[in-house]
Structure 1
Amino acid sequence: MPPPNPPTGERRPRALVIDHAWRGLGPGLESLSGPGGAPLTRTVKLIVLPLIVRPALRPELAVDFLGPTQAAHLDGLIRESGTRLAATAQWFTLLKKARRGLGIVAGNPQDLYFQRCFELATEHGAPAAGADATARAVVEDMADTVDGRTVEALKAHLADGARRSVLDGELASAWESRPQAPSAADGAASVALAAEVLEACGAPDRMGNSPQYAAMVEAGHGGLFGRALWADVDGVWGQGTGLPTSLGLTARQVPPRPEVGRGASTATLPAPLDRTLFERLFVVLQSSARREELPPVPELAARETGRSCAPLGLYDESLRVAVVLGGRLAVGLDPLGTGEGTPGRTAAHRAVNGRWRREASVLRARRMTVSPRPDPDGGVLDTLAQDLRTPWTAYMRRLWVRLHGRDVRDAPLEDLASAWAVLDGVARSVMMDHRARVRSALRTLSTGPARAAAEQRSA
């Protein structure tokens, strides 16, 4: 029996609402459930959330805590899917049997087959006559096309015209169903809260259970900010700053509707929110050191359609909040030390800027970039100077890629300490990358005169 419902009016964790509704479905779901009767983690991750709840289309159900109306809606969606879920469980049992018969051992069966079984249940209902042959054909087909989590497998998966058409239709539907945009005041409120959270980053003992961080996640401030980008809301970072709301996450006035795409190149990747489905997954597959932890390519593509149309291109609210925190940190990055009196700097800014200004390469670059002398190297120093004066673009681009990778792996940022580890880690990464570029430019400048003198002597 499912546990009793809590008193009316309480906000409830979404996970508990799902658990309660699942247990109320009764028997027949054993292959999708744990020993205690609760849905498996992969059942929630691969079936319940992306295929039944569909948070991109129902943003009111995308938060971690639900009010009574939202909880009732979620409960109803799961109970209405009871028959289809029971058929999914039966198909999963058949596919596992076919897998054993074919001697296939690679990959986790739940990762590989859960979503395909839900599709079979939707198309055919419960297994009937001929289901064994269908299951065997499905397993063979998936073994041939989804053996590796590689860019080549992604190309093969998206080469099918019918599959591309389905994905494009899902992208169009998800994009048209986006929630209404917030006001400029909502976006500014999110940024103001971010400043309070970043101030707590100066006190390690306060980071583990920061109430401000938890409040931002629970109130959905990351989603609010993402919707502000869709509406091109001005003045989020303060009056008269002239800063783009996106801070380089898109090169357009507003992020465009994602396309499926056919290819990608590391050298020509567009801004994060301007990327196609292919380009988004290309980066994930290229940068993953442990690809075996990723879902198979069909699942990656299916989930990415909804994610790419979600606010900030991310599903998890804690990761969206990290984008807001990162943006607030990024606009105050000042490696050249030109804005010491700028108001609104936090403990996080002081920590990152102080570390960056101590860099010998930055000190040298600072002297060179403020020099009135012409740039003798065709613009290299001008480029470095611009990077140091507007460091938010490189920071936000790298931060988004890291958060997107976590989103694909369902790795939220549970508390401020874990969020700060990512925010600070990205700052260090950008600093080290800039250090390497400065050293390369200085090396070029120092060898240039020597080379010219040698050529003159040999003439």
Structure 2
Amino acid sequence: MPPSTPPTGERRPRTLVIDHAWRGLGPGLGSLSGPGGAPLTRTVKLIVLPLVVRPTLRPELAVDFLGPVQAATLDGLIRESGTRLVATAQWFTLLKRVRRALGIVAGNPQDLYFQRCFELATEHGAPSAGAEAIARAVVEDVAGITGGRTVEALKVCLADAARRSRLDEELDTAWKNRLPASAPAAAAAVALAAEVLERCGAPGGTGNPAEYTSMVESGHGGLFGRALWGHTSAVWGRENLPAPLGLTARQAPPRPEIGRGASTATLPAPLDRTLFERVFVVLQSSARREELPTVPELVGREAGRSCAPLGLHDESLRVAVVLGGRLAVGLDPLGTGESASGRTTAHRAVNSRWRREASVLRARRMAVSPDPDGGVLDALARDLRAPWAAYMRRLWARLHGRDVRDAPLVDLASTWAVLDGVARSVMMDHRARVRSALRTLSAPPAPEAGRRNA
């Protein structure tokens, strides 16, 4: 269709010239046009003017009213870009579809993608083979270097009323369909765990014994987790220890709620966390978020995981929780002998290493007579006399991270590496706390205000 030719000397509004040329491009521009076929305001602002007309290079086209020559030039530029603009519209449709699939809702798609779509049309032409992957990469890139895997994206995801309603129904159904196990099942799992730990801690003694294989293949981790739903107690051989060992502050894990926020300073016990808090921890602790599933995928998987035994999907990781619990109840850094029953090779290896710590030796002397009024000594004594709570929370966090990444523990050697690594980590934390307490106690008292002002 030939360009329009206004009467000689007539000046026309630039917007009308753009509108006339745009309509002359024919079909295929629907995603960039309004209901009447005119270009959207954002199309003109973000694509036509800066990328097609480019007024900075053509200052004669930067004015609001154009003479006949300028109008013809502008008309020609738009028509020459017709094929590219149609491809831009096709890319925009594709990017919006990918955006919906990824569950990204933040921001206006036109503001975010219009210019990127024009770039894609310039580089690739119309979408063809492989366009879906290109579109996904662009959408994730626009959402941020983490592909939208941010706490803000989590907030937006769980702020959607329809999604919250659907998730709440899923959680309710999954929780009602649980199948609790008996206390004897939990006790059997703990007894087998003791046999497995007897193989750990000695050089060359790990291997992959039949007891460990049986624990995984027979689902002892899942049985133990299901037993916790039934208010199980006294499974560790010590009446004064709760079966969850600090994984929940309740008598039994509660039904997970969705939640609306989280803070690292106030996180509850692992099995008491909301869906928001569980995904929040994953996002905060992941060094390479771009390798994680998208936030909507994380939320969907975490909904199912939160209602699974021990809050984990993989059975090898559940077994690691049982093994870790059996190890944790026998940790005795102060050498009090309070948990001497049922010691294994693993316990002897960890406890002996812990007791050689100079900071623990100092702490032992400090904690013999804890401060009756509380304070730093009392807190230190409590932590070192009951290290199992800190141990289990840290162990669960590591196993949860593996579960999210689909990284099971393939044998006892890899399981022991995690169990022993957590023990070392908790020991290092205790060392730091002891040193901090010693510095506090040895610091000279601050001068009185009057003496300081004298």
Q: Give the distance between the partners of 2:306 and 2:332, measured in 1 at CA.
A: 31
One-letter identity of the residue aligned with 1:433: D
What is residue 330 of structure 2 aligned with on the other side? Answer: 332
**Larger RCO, structure (CA 8 Å, separation 6 or more):** 1
Alignment of 1:350 onto 2:345:
no
Partner Cα distance (1:242, 1:266) in 2: 29
2-structure distance, mates of 1:328, 1:338: 18
Change in Cα spacing, 1:114 to 1:341, as seen in structure 2 (3 Å) is closer
375, 380, 383: which one aligns with 1:379: 375
Contact 2:275 2:299 in 1 (8 A): yes
Structure 2 vs 1, CA of residues 169 and 332 (structure 1 numbering), >3 Å: closer, same or farther? same
The offset of 1:368, in angstroms, is 0.8
Report the alpha carbon displacement of residue 208 of structure 1 after superposing the two structures with TM: 3.2
Deviations 1:298-338 (A, max 9, x none): 11001111100000000000000000000000000000000
Q: Which amino acid aligns with 2:174?
A: A
- Alignment pair present for 1:398 and 2:394: yes
Please point out which of 255, 266, 279 is paired with 2:264.
266
Note closer, same or farther for the CA distance 1:168–1:372 as it changes in structure 2 (3 Å cut): closer
Match of 2:365 in 1: 367
C-alpha distance in structure 2 between counterparts of 1:271 and 1:412, whole Å? 23
Describe the shift of the 1:307–1:340 C-alpha distance in structure 2 as closer, same or farther (beyond 3 A): closer
Q: Deviations along 1:405-456, whole A, 9 cap, x unmatched?
A: 0000000000001001110111111111111111111111111x34348985
Q: Name the SS of the counterpart of 1:267 in structure 2.
A: helix
Cα distance, 1:205 vs. partner? 2.9
- 1:141 CA drift (Å): 12
Q: Which amino acid aligns with 2:438?
A: L
Amino acid at match of 2:168: D
Pair 182,283 (structure 1): closer, same or farther in 2 beyond 3 Å: same
TM-score normalised per structure 2: 0.68
- CA 140–395 in structure 1, closer or farther in 2 if over 3 Å, else same: closer
**2:376 and 2:370 mapped to 1: Cα distance?**
15
Task: Give the aligned length.
Answer: 335
Q: For residues 292 and 458 of structure 1, do their structure 2 counterparts lie closer, same or farther at Cα, with a shift above 3 Å needed?
A: same
AA partner of residue 423 (structure 1): L
* TM-superposition CA deviations, 1:96-138 (whole Å, max 9, x none): x999945999xxx9xx96999xxxxxxxxxxxxxxxxxx99x9
Note if contact 2:192-2:211 (Cα within 8 Å) is conserved in structure 1.
yes
Query: Residue 103 of structure 2 contacts residue 296 of structure 2 at CA under 8 Å; is this kept in 1?
Result: no
Instruction: Tell me what 2:184 maps to.
Output: 185
Identity of aligned residues (%): 72
Residues 49-74 of structure 1 deviation map (CA, whole Å, 9 limit, x = unaligned): xxxxxxxxxxxxxxxxxxxxxxxxxx
**Equivalent pair of 2:189/2:220 in contact (CA under 8 Å):** yes
- Tell me the TM-score normalized by structure 1: 0.67
Work out which of the residue numbers 406, 410, 422 in structure 1 matches 2:406.
Answer: 410
SS of corresponding position for 1:420: helix
Q: How has the CA–CA distance of structure 1 residues 341 and 331 changed in structure 2, closer, same or farther, with 3 Å as cutoff?
A: closer
What SS class does the counterpart of residue 205 from structure 1 fall into?
coil
Moved more, 392-401 or 435-444: 435-444
- 5+ residue gaps in structure 1? 1-96, 117-134
Structure 1 residues 350 and 152: CA distance shift in structure 2, 3 A: same
CA distance in 2, matches of 1:328, 1:140: 45
Question: C-alpha deviations, 1:145-192, integer Å up to 9, x for none?
Answer: 69321111111111111111111111111111112x222211111000
For the pair 1:323 / 2:318, whether they are aligned, the reply is no
Gaps of 5+ in 2: 1-86, 105-131
Q: Bigger shift: 345-354 or 366-375?
A: 366-375
Alignment of 1:157-172 (within 5 A): 157-172=157-172
Other structure's SS at 2:229 match: helix
Deviation, structure 1 residue 353: 0.7
